[in-house]
Amino acid sequence: MSNNALLEPKLVGDITGDFFIPSYQRGYRWGNEQIDMLLNDVWENGEQNYCLQPIVVKNLGENKFELIDGQQRLTTIYLIMKYMHGLMPAIIKNKFALQYETRNRSRQFLLDLDESLSKDNIDFYHIYNAYKQIEAWFNDQKTGDIGLKAMNMYRYFGEKVKVIWYEVTDNVDSTDLFTRLNIGKIPLTNAELVKALFLSKDSDNISNEKQIEIATSWDTIEKELQNDEFWAFLTNESSAKYATRIELIFNLIANKMAHEKEKFFTFYYFNDRMKKESKTEIWKEILEYYLVLKEWFEKRDIYHKVGYLITVGYNLRSLINETKGLSKSEFEASLDAKITNSLELTSDGLLDLNYSNKYHKPKIENLLLLFNVETTRLLKNTGEKYSFEAHKRKGWSLEHIHAQNSVGLNKKEDQQEWLNLHKKSLKNLHSLRYNNREILTLIERIDANFENINKVNFDILFAEVFQILSESEDRSYIDSISNMALLSMEDNAALNNATFDVKRNRIIEMDRNGEYIPICTRRVFLKYYTESQDQQLHFWGDQDRTAYTNAMIGKTGIINKYLQPSKVTE
């Protein structure tokens, strides 16, 4: 972006002058869909403020401009204003004119819109068709009286609808700037527009040295935010939504909410502040904001606690504001309190959690996330950190450690895959039990029914396999916290409904392949929590479930400190 450019919001009704569209640009090409979208957006916003994409111009003097970027929008606005002027010439005025360098008669054609000339060239053809579509939109009776629509639209243009006016000086190479804008090297996002504000000409000019300092710091922050682990620590949003990641910092400072519809909300926030405050002081605030986040990312305990809170939906801006002025011990105590509040659980309440209750599922997921995060945080003599990036990218979610039922296994191929997965476990168990006839017979029946499997015979086989690969007939534990873990089975119905032994084999395979597995999930399937004398590798038994639960809330339980005290009943 150019130094000493003029950057400001401008009402559409305040756009004046003669605009020259140079030959390096292609001609007008908007179709009916784009015309209707612009008109509908402005109309539906009504009395709300609405901002169009930026208009980039070079000032040629005497209220004449070279239009570098935004000619499709500006031409469409011109045609809308022209149509409304035709309806009410005494009231509605168009204050600007356009001329294409490649079309000698373009200025006159835009004034007359002579249908007989519309087929002289492709530009005239598209311009005339756009005008006819504008006419059709205004004549659509479903949206009201044509005259009233014109009056309201004209008022919206004069009071509510703005463009971001970006005016560069005459020493800028227009062709080079156009090329960079249109191949995406300088997308006119909130972040780039905020950057341009720091370099624009106004009463608060900053020195060249300060501009260089800001540009250098900007690049450093952007480079650091390209670290996906840092990004996932800060937000649950996909980085794909951000052309420039530093925009996240600006959005936080501007307090831009997820439901905010104004796409240039953040730009307007900083533009308003720069009218009243020093750019140097504002940039200092941005830098301090970033440095706080960087420090949190690098400090192991704070990283895990803040990362957990952000992942479960805590607002990062609120977290920063609420912890200002606290000492290190006060800050960490406040994080612990927030984690306790996020769980809202006593030890008794934890044991009562049940997967079948839809209101309990988010609590169970948050609980298991905290269990994994805290287990990683408390590791000694290691630099390992819980990967919020892998957690969010891979989609680790709540699953049963041991199969629940055959829900979702309705397709023949899913049923066959499930049977194949469990045949391996049955064969291993068969060899351990010295050729157990019951298991052998079940394997034979699976083979016999495999090609002609259907819902009826599959459910019978499922129940028998489940019975053999379960420790006991008691199923009361199935939906309890002792049978839940964070798993990523990639929407595979056969694996999601698999018994412990099949899931164990899958986790071991993932571990061998170097895939990321949350630490507690890995420990569950490697029987880490169970004493060796109680281990039986093929089942998830009562001893395993008790040991797993104790690791959470036993005498030395990982998450005891985050539980609320149980209510004492008299």
Q: If you average pLDDT over residues 476-500, what whole number do you get? A: 80
- Print the domain residue range for 135: 6-188
Q: Is 335 domain-assigned? A: no
Flag whether pLDDT at 1 surpasses 50: no
- Where does the pLDDT of residue 151 fall: very low under 50, low under 70, confident under 90, or very high at 90 and above? very high
Over the stretch 115-139, which tens digit does the pLDDT of each residue have? Answer: 888 888 888 999 999 999 999 999 9
Q: Is 52 domain-assigned? A: yes
Q: What is the DSSP letter of 569?
A: P
Asked whether the beta carbons of 563 and 350 are under 8 A apart, the reply is yes
Q: If you average pLDDT over residues 21-31, what whole number do you get? A: 86
Over the stretch 502-537, which tens digit does the pLDDT of each residue have? Answer: 888 888 888 899 888 999 999 999 889 988 765 567
Which residue did the predictor score with more confidence, 125 or 261?
125
Number of domains in the chain: 2
Q: How far is Cα 67 from Cα 2, in angstroms, rounded to an integer? A: 15
- What count of Cα atoms within 13 Å lies in the side-chain half-sphere of residue 529? 27
Which of 205-219, 267-281, 373-387 shows the lowest mean pLDDT across its residues? 205-219
Last residue of one domain, picked from the residues 469, 492, 524: 469
Q: Is 110 domain-assigned? A: yes
Nearest Cα residue to 71 out of 190, 178, 189, 223 = 178
Q: Is 16 domain-assigned? A: yes
Mean pLDDT rounded to a whole number for the chain: 87
Last residue of one domain, picked from the residues 426, 451, 469: 469
Q: Is 419 domain-assigned? A: yes
Return the top range by mean pLDDT from 172-186, 361-375, 479-493, 497-511.
Answer: 361-375
Over the stretch 432-459, which tens digit does the pLDDT of each residue have? Answer: 654 578 888 888 888 888 888 888 888 8
Q: If you average pLDDT over residues 277-303, what whole number do you get? A: 94
Flag whether pLDDT at 177 surpasses 80: no
Q: Is 259 domain-assigned? A: no
Q: If you average pLDDT over residues 370-398, what whole number do you get? A: 92
Which of 72-86, 183-197, 341-355 shows the lowest mean pLDDT across its residues? 183-197
Which run of H or E residues covers position 100?
Answer: strand 96-100
Last residue of one domain, picked from the residues 188, 205, 238: 188
Write the CB contacts of 559 (distance below 8 Å, at least 6 apart in sequence): 343, 367, 370, 371, 374, 552, 553
What would the two tokens of residue 286 be? 């941005």
Write the CB contacts of 242 (distance below 8 Å, at least 6 apart in sequence): 189, 191, 248
Instruction: Please tell me the total number of residues recorded for the chain in this structure.
Output: 570
Q: If you average pLDDT over residues 221-247, what whole number do you get? A: 94
Model pLDDT, residue 2: 46
Q: What is the DSSP letter of 567?
A: P
Q: Is 547 domain-assigned? A: no
Q: Is 508 domain-assigned? A: no
